[in-house]
Amino acid sequence: MLDSPLAKIENLQVRFATRQGVVKGVEDVSFDIFPGKTLCIVGESGSGKSVSALSLMRLVEFGGGEITGGRVLFEAEGAARDLTQAAADTMRHLRGNNIAMIFQEPMTALNPVFTVERQLTEGLRQHQGVSRKAARDRALELLQQVRLPEPERRLRQYPHELSGGMRQRVVIAMALACRPKLLIADEPTTALDVTTQAEILALINRLKVETNAAVLFITHDMAVVAQVADRVVVMQDGRKVEDGPVNDIFERPKAAYTKALLKAVPRLGQGSTVSKVTDSGPPLLEVKNLTTRFAVKGGMLRRTVAELHAVEDVSFSLQPGRTLALVGESGSGKSTVGRSILRLVEPTSGAVQFDGQDILALDAPGLRAARAGMQMIFQDPYASLNPQRRVADQVAEPLWNYAPMPRQDTEARVAELFDRVHLPRDLLQRYPHELSGGQRQRVAIARALALNPKLIVADEAVSALDVSVQAEILSLFRDLQADMGLSYLFISHDMAVVEQMSHEIAVMYLGRIVERGPRDAVLRDPRHSYTKALLSAVPVPDPKRRITDDELNFKPNPSPIHKIGHDPGPSIYEEVTPGHHVLISDSGYD
């Protein structure tokens, strides 16, 4: 029956055994999932939303969890069975075939030693017994469905050869492969840019309509909830605090926690609280005609057959105490710009002047000294921190390397940095895995501040954080800028966050800056069609203003890979208003 639930969770209880004792992961949680409907579970890190989903697939047991109470009923082969009592063989048959999951972190969900094709076809051949050719054809169709550029080439690649957004789309394609009855999506769009996110949300909605599949969508982003949910369950500290239709949750929230989540959502149009800074003196950072290309090798001899034009003829300047935001889709080159400035990757040509120094002309000792004044905060703090060292030692490491001082003074400086980023000192001797995501990101910020730099390159530094934690980190960034006069090159795909942080915005597409200007000019009066496409795809935290398929009018991206000897030509800019530049020769968007 269409009005009966496909899955029914009743009074679920999950426990984890730790050295400190038994931890309650989920306590007495109940909800139903209906065919053709999307149920969103929303809450901050540690609320139990992912544990609930993993329990439905019995994957929680592989992470040290134990289902100690309740039932998980799933409609399969005409009968509802309790999955908590199902045999291992039964669960293996259901996973992937009837129930599929999109995991949040694609690098942990993908096998680094197998090609994309191998990983996409494995489930099809295992569960549906199709031929190798049929499985490959389906894999190609899936990559086209999730709008992965150059799908034929992607099939032959390994996960490390793809960007974060591309890897996430591969994971989504794997989950869709067997056309499951229930799709569990655990933060599937966290690492994606707004246009890709809009397309993926539309794709999941289309799947739901076309196959009558049920969707369990886990997220901390209330704007995404507004775009996809039919019903919402709000969780806090392992318990359900509120549930109801999506319109009721947004218009008439009852729980104080739900109200706090909605209040913390960054909204495009809220304005900004960044300090007003007048241009005075020479720029701190001046980038001229920066170009970074990577060799693409092919054939049995692995010869260079083409070049990836990651960054092409990029120019901008950044004044002291100001923030320039670089925005664009995954693969647009914005992270490569940040890495090229610090010479974490070597630029092909161009000039980078930082605080009066020619960075590209420095030898190794000179570059090492210059890097003390420019630091980088990476997107994933868990990957950028050493899991085997205490966080206090990692914050102290720049001091040991650049400014050795007595141990007592170093410890005092580290404690002071913890105070500055609002971390309690009792965390000093912990390891990264013992901290929350927001706490790890604060540790990364403290480490970047250790040498009192003048420039910080923040590469998607808040994209994976809960909205409340994100709001705290953004406030911290603004306070640090006001107190220390820091300059930020703020790399992000979240336009609402960019509005809160930036003085100026540069929009990147296929390695080039296609529009640049003051924040309000770019956001309120965008002139380039690509900028307009980015802004039109920003999810709005209002269920009545959902983005439809008809509004997603994106053009397929041309490839940034060019045969050897191809010259894309110079950039041609038009100054529309004072300080507001638009690229008028852009090979795709006009």
Q: Write down which residue in 233, 265, 297 finishes a domain.
A: 265
Look at residue 351 and tell me if it is in a domain: no
The answer to whether position 55 is within a domain reads: yes
Cα separation, 275 vs 479, whole angstroms: 9
Report the number of secondary-structure helices (H) and strands (E) in the chain: 21, 23
Residue 407 located in a structural domain: no
The answer on 167 and 79 residing in a single domain is no
Indicate the residue among 225, 241, 265 that finishes a domain.
265
* pLDDT in the model for residue 1: 44
Shared domain for 55 and 28, answered yes or no, is yes
Token pair of 165, please? 């957004």
Provide the domain limits for residue 134.
106-179
Residue 362 pLDDT: 94
Note whether 72 and 119 are same-domain residues: no
Q: Considering only CA atoms, which of 385, 297, 293 is closest in space to residue 340? A: 293
Any domain includes 486: no
Q: Which stretches of the chain score pLDDT less than 50?
A: 1
Same domain (yes/no): 217, 143 = no
> Residue 127 phi/psi, 5° resolution?
-90, -30
pLDDT for the residue numbered 461:
84
Please tell me the predicted confidence (pLDDT) of residue 279: 60
Assigned domain for 117 exists: yes
Going from the C-alpha of 225 to that of each of 213, 215, 523, 541, 546, the distances in angstroms are: 18, 12, 24, 8, 10
In a domain? residue 151: yes
Domain boundary, last residue among 231, 265, 299: 265
Flag whether 92 is in a domain.
yes
User: In this structure, are 74 and 160 located in the same domain?
Assistant: no
Clarify whether residues 23 and 90 are in a common domain.
yes
Residues 133 and 4 in one domain: no
The whole-number pLDDT of residue 490 equals 95
Q: Are residues 93 and 216 in the same domain?
A: yes
Cα-to-chain-centroid distance, residue 322: 24
What is the total count of domains within the chain?
2
Alpha-carbon separation of residue 167 from 13, 28, 146, 162, 330 (angstroms): 33, 35, 11, 6, 11
Query: How does pLDDT run across 276-312, given as a tens digit for each residue?
Result: 666 667 899 999 999 999 887 766 667 777 778 889 9
CATH number for the domain spanning 241: value is: 3.40.50.300
79 and 35 share a domain? yes
Q: Is 42 helix (H, G, I), strand (E, B) or coil?
A: strand
The answer to the question of residue 272 being in a domain is: no
**Residue bearing tokens 């496409």:** 533
| Contact (CB, 8 A) for 96 and 179 | no
Residues 85, 225, single domain; the answer is yes
Q: Are residues 120 and 84 in the same domain?
A: no
Residues 64 and 116 in one domain: no
What residue ranges in 220-274 does DSSP mark as E strands? 231-236, 239-245
pLDDT at position 309 is 85
